[in-house]
Amino acid sequence: MFHKPNPSSGIPIYRQLMDQITHAIETGAVRPGDQLPGIRTLAEQLVINPNTVVKALRELEHAGIVEIRHGAGVFVTQKKNYETQSTKIITAQPIAKKFLQKLREQGLDEEEIRRLIQSELIDSQHEKKHS
């Protein structure tokens, strides 16, 4: 059902697995309420360490994508709209957090940060056009 991650892609294996699972949900390959393969099963199929699988599933649980029931298995959450909270966003969140943290340490306030971001976004659009 899932395929082997590429260990030399630069993207952490657990993130690649997260992407595969969220993608499977988005495409409807697995549906809310469905049970996912067990941790050991996944680890064997994908030839990765069970702990890595655990890490991926734990992150997905924190994000509300799956539900881990002790002794029973891992299930896709019943709720809804993963569209708005795709893996990409989830992945980006901590990066943004650390970035803002750094800016604040530099002494920038909210307004200054907003202006900085906006101007950089505009710049990068221009660079795109000129390339």
Partner DNA sequence: GTGGTCTAGACCACC
Partner DNA sequence: GTGGTCTAGACCACG
Binding site for a second copy (CB under 8 A): 3, 7, 10-12, 15-16, 19-20, 22-23, 26, 49, 62, 67, 69-71, 78, 88-89, 91-93, 95-104, 106-108, 110, 112-122, 124-126
CB 57 within 8 A of CB 66: yes
Site string for DNA, 16-55 (x = CB under 7 A): --------------------x-xxxx------xxxxx-xx
Determine if 69 is a binding residue for DNA (CB under 7 A): yes
Contacts of 13 (CB under 8 A, 6+ apart): 5, 7, 48, 52
